[in-house]
Chain A
């Protein structure tokens, strides 16, 4: 492996991480650490806990680089998926129940605004456009679930809608987003 890690593809970088090269892990962190951290922070609303999540994600990439299968998706998606789940686990753990109820209450007063959530991101324009193609209900359901950390049942309860409707909206919304984003050529690096 040459010294220039910055030119390596993500899968090649993971190979180097597999060889226990800390500089390769540092490069992976440089590429994707910001995304993992900011998603965790959005979900948790707490910087310290988001830092913990980010740390866990990258140390587990170090420990088990072999879990990443490049055929199943990009490294960034892999890391974000891991980080999101970790953040959600934190929210749902028993000790957090009270906080969660408070969150539920405040959510009910101020429904999730997915457009605002993604306002400050690099691909904001295309995303806004793609989000514009979603119905209000789809946007709300996806935002409350993904960024708000609510289960679909909680979303249904908060919005006063049938659970089946919420599930279908999540699926239809994600499908529509995917098609719209593919048309604008946005891709996960």
Chain B
């Protein structure tokens, strides 16, 4: 780092502290936010400053009841809640993006619980859950990024009876992620398998396992449909059963 760059960084670090108190001039906010995106060290500092500021704000006062009544009135009936915007889902369904949020938060919650030394009764199972939750979480991040990419195509995979089983997002290069919404767990020895359908031919696009969460896959060029079948564990070269879900690309 040259002396000049180091001075620049120093002055940016001052601004990050000021930003944590929301005390920047409006014209400087964007500059600092840009810097924060690129600088993990400053992001850590910002988190620490905010925590310190929160301690200054610490209040033992109870939450006023009157405000809760207003909040409660405003959120209304949970069932009629509109679908959140950041969604993989296509229409018609209730509360799509929550699945994403939920899984990320669930993964985090599992880790938090594990960190408290909470008694673990079925340890193996628990560790499996934890591991897959963690794997899910990083997959989920990538999947969320793809889902939000304006270039991505989003599709719903529906069962023959029309129920949404999973949703998928695919980038123009064929990289895609599928998230199970309602796919039941399969017995041992079976797996869900994804297929790209190109001119009536099925090309394997990857395995989803017996209890699918988030799966990365690759859609073949020119694929018209993405389909899921149930196959023996390890997968099949060609589908051996009718699709349990499919969606056109």
Are A and B genuine complex partners? yes
Binding site for B on A (CB under 8 A): 9, 11-12, 14-15, 18-22, 25-26, 29-30, 32-39, 42, 51, 54-55, 58-59, 62-66, 68-74, 76-77, 80-81, 84-85, 88, 92, 114, 117-118, 121-123, 127, 142, 145-147, 149-153, 155, 164, 167-168, 170-171, 174-175, 177-178, 181, 186, 188
CB-CB under 8 A from A142, the residues of chain B are: 21, 56
Q: Which single residue of chain B is at the shortest CB-CB distance from A143? A: B56
Give residues of chain B (37-96) contacting chain A, Cβ–Cβ below 8 Å.
47-64, 66-68, 70-72, 74-75, 78-79, 81, 84, 86, 95
User: Which of A30, A33, A77, A164 interacts with B51 by CB under 8 Å?
Assistant: A77
CB-CB under 8 A from B17, the residues of chain A are: 167, 170-171, 174-175
CB-CB under 8 A from B72, the residues of chain A are: 22, 26
Instruction: Answer whether residue B202 sits at the interface, using C-beta atoms and an 8 A cutoff.
Output: no
Inter-subunit contact B71/A59 (CB<8 Å):
yes
CB-CB under 8 A from B100, the residues of chain A are: 66
CB-CB under 8 A from B95, the residues of chain A are: 20
User: Which of A55, A64, A76, A168 interacts with B14 by CB under 8 Å?
Assistant: A168
User: Which of B49, B60, B97, B105 interacts with A14 by CB under 8 Å?
Assistant: B105
How close is A174's CB to chain B, nearest CB, in angstroms? Answer: 5
CB-CB under 8 A from A77, the residues of chain B are: 47, 50-51, 54
Inter-subunit contact B57/A12 (CB<8 Å):
no
Inter-subunit contact A121/B59 (CB<8 Å):
yes
Instruction: Answer whether residue B25 sits at the interface, using C-beta atoms and an 8 A cutoff.
Output: yes
Inter-subunit contact B22/A34 (CB<8 Å):
no
CB-CB under 8 A from B86, the residues of chain A are: 66
Q: Which single residue of chain A is at the shortest CB-CB distance from B71? A: A58
